[in-house]
């Protein structure tokens, strides 16, 4: 990893990346795509060492409280967070200023910050988003090799439920001929129902591939699924959208299960939920002025 002093931390939509790059090694990682303009190897994580200070400056000057998002691009709980605790320090700032947080990860390291997540949720709102792609533990170790597996992530969801912290699951990507089976989708959906998730994000049963991401993915296919690269190239060429041949059937199962269990399943509704700041909370700070 290497350190940098960032000039800014919050995007126009109040999202932030504390780190750039990731060590979790997911074989399908879109963040590797060339369009993001990484100038360093993806695993040589860039640490925005002044992230918490920049965030504090921003939150202090905001006139209206809102949800702060993190984890959309790079996981905030990858390995280096263990020593650096930078995500934890940013959560402390969010807690102190009584903003909300919508945080996305695959790692159980998030449990280390449980007290902060609970405190933010009491004062404003916390939403924890966990990605689940496969119900098969062995497959999970192959496609997401350097982070805890699905069973442990489900335990995280369960602990959030016990703490009264709402959760959203990202059921994506669904890789053709790898995890696009009915058993797999039903298995993940059962975990979501059992842990009482608020919403499930899915943009179609497939994956997106583009320059940078595609090459890395194909190398992983050659290593773990010999012959599958040729099938992908034959069926999809250089398409950005790579949809499962089982898309229709799997998507119906997904929609039906969500509807039956009162789970948000339209991406717009889940995104609206993540952005929505509870208006009846979080005004103690502003009322001082
Ligand atoms: S956790 Fe996210 S950012 Fe990290 S390698 Fe996996 S997909 Fe990429």
10-50 pLDDT, tens digit each: 999 999 999 999 999 999 999 999 999 999 999 999 999 99
Q: How many angstroms is it from 44 CA to the middle of ligand 1?
A: 13
CA 28 to ligand 1: nearest atom: 7
26 CB near ligand 1 (under 6 Å): yes
CA dihedral 251, 255, 260, 265 (to 10 degrees): 140
Q: Are 192 and 162 in contact (CB under 8 A)?
A: no
pTM exceeds cut of 0.75: yes
- 231-257 confidence digits (pLDDT tens): 999 999 999 999 999 999 999 999 999
**Residue 145: band (very low, low, confident or very high) from pLDDT cuts 50, 70, 90:** very high
Contacts of 42 (CB under 8 A, 6+ apart): 21, 22, 29, 31, 32
172 CB near ligand 1 (under 6 Å): no
Candidate from 19, 22, 201, 213 with most ligand 1 atoms within 8 A of CB, to mutate: 22
- 146-192 confidence digits (pLDDT tens): 999 999 999 999 999 999 999 999 999 999 999 999 999 999 999 99
Residue 132 in tokens: 């689940």
Mean pLDDT of 87-91: 98
Specify the CATH number for 2-278; select among 1.10.240.10, 3.30.70.1380, 3.30.565.10, 3.20.20.70.
Answer: 3.20.20.70
Predicted pLDDT of residue 282: 54
Predicted pLDDT of residue 287: 43
- Measured by CA distance, the residue closest to atom 7 of ligand 1 is 29
29 CB near ligand 1 (under 6 Å): yes
What distance in Å separates the CA atoms of residue 235 and residue 184, rounded to the nearest whole number?
A: 22
Helix, strand, coil: what percent of the chain each, to 5? 45, 15, 40
Q: Which residues pair with 16 in a beta bridge?
A: 70
Q: Are 169 and 129 in contact (CB under 8 A)?
A: yes
What distance in Å separates the CA atoms of residue 145 and residue 27, rounded to the nearest whole number?
A: 8
Tokens 């280390």 -> residue: 112
Domain ranges of the chain: 2-278
143 CB near ligand 1 (under 6 Å): no
| DSSP code, position 113 | G
Look at residue 120 and tell me whether its pLDDT is greater than 50.
yes
Residue 73 in tokens: 């691009």
Look at residue 5 and tell me whether its pLDDT is greater than 60.
yes
Of 259, 221, 22, 281, nearest to 131 (Cα)?
Answer: 22
User: Please, is 259 exposed, middle or buried when counting C-beta atoms within 10 Å of its C-beta (0-12, 13-18, 19+)?
Assistant: exposed
Share of the chain above pLDDT 70, in %: 97
140 CB near ligand 1 (under 6 Å): no
Q: Are 10 and 58 in contact (CB under 8 A)?
A: yes
Q: How many angstroms is it from 250 CA to the middle of ligand 1?
A: 24
74 CB near ligand 1 (under 6 Å): yes
Predicted pLDDT of residue 284: 52
Q: Are 143 and 133 in contact (CB under 8 A)?
A: yes
3-state class of 142 per DSSP?
helix
- Measured by CA distance, the residue closest to atom 3 of ligand 1 is 74
Residue 50 in tokens: 């002044």
Q: Which residues of 146-164 are buried (b: 16+ CB within 10 A; e: fewer)?
A: ebbbbeebbebbebbbeee
């Amino acid at each position: 990893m290497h350190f940098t002093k960032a000039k800014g931390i919050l995007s126009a939509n109040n999202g932030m990346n504390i780190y750039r790059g990731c060590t979790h090694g997911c074989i399908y990682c879109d963040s590797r795509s060339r369009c993001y303009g990484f100038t360093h190897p993806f695993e040589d994580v860039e640490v925005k060492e002044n992230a918490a200070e920049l965030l504090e400056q921003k939150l202090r000057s905001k006139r209206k409280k809102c949800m702060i998002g993190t984890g959309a691009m790079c996981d905030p709980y990858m390995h280096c967070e263990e020593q650096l605790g930078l995500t934890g320090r940013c959560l402390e700032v969010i807690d102190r200023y009584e903003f909300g947080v919508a945080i996305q990860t695959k790692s159980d390291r998030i449990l280390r910050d449980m007290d902060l997540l609970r405190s933010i949720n009491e004062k404003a709102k916390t939403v924890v988003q966990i990605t689940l792609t496969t119900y098969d533990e062995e497959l999970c170790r192959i496609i997401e090799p350097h982070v805890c597996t699905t069973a442990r992530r489900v335990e995280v969801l369960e602990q959030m439920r016990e703490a009264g912290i709402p959760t959203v699951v990202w059921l994506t990507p669904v890789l053709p001929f790898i995890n696009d089976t009915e058993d797999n989708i039903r298995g993940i959906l059962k975990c979501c129902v059992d842990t009482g998730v608020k919403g499930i994000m899915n943009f179609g049963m497939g994956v997106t591939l583009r320059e940078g991401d595609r090459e890395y993915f194909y190398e992983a296919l050659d290593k773990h699924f010999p012959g599958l690269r040729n099938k992908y190239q034959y069926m999809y060429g250089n398409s950005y959208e790579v949809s499962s041949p089982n898309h229709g059937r799997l998507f119906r199962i997904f929609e039906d299960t969500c509807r039956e269990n009162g789970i948000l399943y339209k991406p717009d509704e889940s995104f609206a939920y993540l952005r929505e700041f509870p208006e009846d909370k979080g005004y103690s700070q502003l009322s001082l002025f």
